[in-house]
Chains A and B, each alone.
Chain A
Amino acid sequence: SYELTQPPSVSVSPGQTARITCSGDVLPKQYAYWYQQQAGQAPVMIIYKDNKRPSGIPERFSGATSGTAVTLTISGVQAADEADYYCQSADSSGIWVFGGGTKLTVL
């Protein structure tokens, strides 16, 4: 099995840029996905295949990859962005793994 590592928490002021990293040995070989989970709600995919946004996801959300790490960037952070964020990938046999999650706090 493999692991994805995220920081437990990130804090940012409104209007600033938040960056959440996710690292793992599988990431150079497999796509990364990002999910936003608001309190008490189901996850929502915000980035797929490293850097693509599903329909309806604002352009403020972007993804990038570099070696064994991927980064979720949220530009112009808003209070509504306060949530837990998870990265996810899958190995070649289709087994998924999630990162531990990052709690984004908007100060």
Chain B
Amino acid sequence: EVQLVESGGGLLQPGGSLRLSCTTSGFTFSTYAMSWVRQAPGKGLEWVSGISDDGDSSNYADSVKGRFTISRDNFKNTVYLQMNSLRAEDTAVYYCTSQGLIWGQGTMVSVSS
């Protein structure tokens, strides 16, 4: 069974850091690009970042550039999102997805003082 499971979300104060993980199974992870997409409460989908299958190339939305870093470990079948200098507007459910076809269930990140 193909599965993506996000973890690492939580409640933290502005300026804090968090690392999200997305552990995958059931498909050849190393041959697929991966992305993180977020959804603020009551809002639409927002693409955050993407990484190539080999990890050599990555992209970021302007809203997170310079603060977030995407990475992957093809031996552990896991993609990560390191989030620094968090702001209230980063509050959202964070989903990982394999090329938009397979999605995890999401992990909630809340940034509040």
Show the binding face of A for B, using Cβ within 8 Å: 1, 33, 35, 37, 42-45, 48, 54, 84, 86, 88, 93-101
Contacts and interface: CB of A to CB of B under 8 A. Distances in A.
A49 to B, nearest CB: 11
Given A35-B100, A43-B95, A98-B47, 6 more contacts: A42-B106, A84-B44, A94-B50, A94-B57, A96-B37, A98-B46
Contacts of B59: 93-95
A43 B101 CA distance: 9
Contact of A48 (B45, B46, B57, B101): B101
Contacts of A54: 101
Nearest to B43: A101
Contacts of A45: 100-101
Among A35, A43, A44, A93, residue most surrounded by chain B Cβ atoms (within 10 Å): A43
20 contacts: A1-B62, A35-B45, A35-B100, A42-B95, A42-B103, A42-B104, A44-B103, A86-B44, A88-B45, A93-B59, A94-B50, A94-B57, A94-B59, A95-B61, A97-B47, A98-B44, A98-B46, A98-B47, A99-B44, A101-B45
Interface string B40-68: 00001111001010000101011000000
A26 to B, nearest CB: 13
B21 interface: no
Nearest to A100: B44
B101 A96 contact: no
B24 interface: no
B91 interface: no
